[in-house]
């Protein structure tokens, strides 16, 4: 079980985009730790979503950090734009950047926390040599591109492996690193995901697909707290 505090990051991908300000205010009021912001470019993933303009538009509506998940290729040009638009955390997929170390440094230089995202088929060895430059590891538990997909069970083993890497790194005096999971997180699996080592949980359809986001958030948080004991 992760010793770090647990956090839920509702993904606005499943929110009502015509009422986005209201939707993000509702999740902060419910107790959400982060706003998860999915950026898709119809190149790295086969879907097209939102960019820095939308990040800037929601920024005044919440005080919680905005967790920007870049599913784009190339990555670097968007880093300063999202930092300026009020992002607090910026994560990207390592295979989408030609110079992963440089992109991570650039994110921190722009005042944000930096993280790497691993698709279900992407090996964790991208973490080698980079742990000191990383604030967040995000494991995809679906192939990226769409909300509402089914959780891939082998992610649990990968979470345990990532948790081990983080714990060893911290024991050796390294910086703390959050372990986030994204895709298909629901009330019936969030407990097992926590036990496997995640401390931060993205939930799109589980929160915004519920009768109201407050109810969706509370349902999964209740399950998570039970698993955390």
Active site amino acids: 38, 182
**Phi, psi of 55, deg, nearest 5:** -60, -45
Residues 41-100 that bind ligand DX5 (CB under 6 A): 69
Q: Which does 85 bind (CB under 5 to 8 A by kind): ligand DX5, Zn ion, none?
A: none
How far apart are CB 210 and ligand DX5 at their closest, in Å? 11
Cross-strand partners of 136:
115, 178
Does residue 163 touch Zn ion according to CB under 5 A? Answer: no
Residue with tokens 């993280």: 115
Residue 204 CA, distance from chain mean position: 11
Cα of first residue to Cα of last residue in the chain, in angstroms, is 10
Told to check if 38 binds Zn ion by CB under 5 A, we report yes
| Residue for token pair 């995640």 | 198
204 interacts with ligand DX5 by CB under 6 A: yes
Minimum distance from residue 186 beta carbon to ligand DX5 (Å): 8
**Is-contact 107 117, C-beta < 8 A?**
no
Q: Which is nearer to Zn ion, 2 or 12 (CB)?
A: 12
Instruction: Decide: is 223 part of the binding site for ligand DX5 (CB under 6 A).
Output: no
Dihedral over Cα of 152, 189, 203, 135: its sign: negative
Instruction: Kindly list the residues in this chain that would bind ligand DX5 in the complex (CB under 6 A).
Output: 11, 13-14, 36, 38, 69, 142, 144-145, 147-149, 182-185, 202-206
């Amino acid at each position: 079980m992760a010793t770090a505090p647990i956090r839920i990051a509702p993904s606005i991908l499943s929110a009502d985009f015509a009422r986005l300000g209201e939707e993000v205010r509702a999740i902060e009021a419910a107790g959400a730790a982060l706003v998860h912001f999915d950026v898709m470019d119809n190149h790295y993933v086969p879907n097209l979503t939102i960019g820095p303009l939308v990040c800037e538009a929601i920024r005044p509506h919440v005080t919680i950090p905005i967790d920007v998940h870049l599913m784009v290729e190339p990555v670097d040009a968007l880093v300063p734009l999202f930092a300026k638009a009020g992002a607090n955390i910026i994560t990207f997929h390592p295979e989408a950047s030609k110079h992963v170390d440089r992109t991570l440094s650039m994110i921190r230089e722009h005042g944000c926390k930096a993280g790497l995202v691993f698709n279900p088929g992407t090996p964790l060895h991208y973490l080698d040599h980079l742990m000191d430059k990383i604030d967040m590891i995000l494991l995809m538990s679906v192939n990226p591109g769409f909300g509402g997909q089914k959780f891939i069970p082998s992610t649990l083993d990968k979470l345990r492996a990532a948790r081990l890497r983080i714990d060893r790194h911290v024991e050796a005096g390294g910086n703390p690193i959050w372990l986030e999971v994204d895709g298909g997180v629901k009330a019936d699996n969030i407990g097992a995901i926590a036990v496997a080592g995640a401390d931060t949980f993205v939930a799109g359809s589980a929160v915004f697909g519920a009768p109201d986001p407050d109810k969706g958030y509370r349902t999964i948080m209740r399950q998570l707290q039970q698993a955390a004991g």
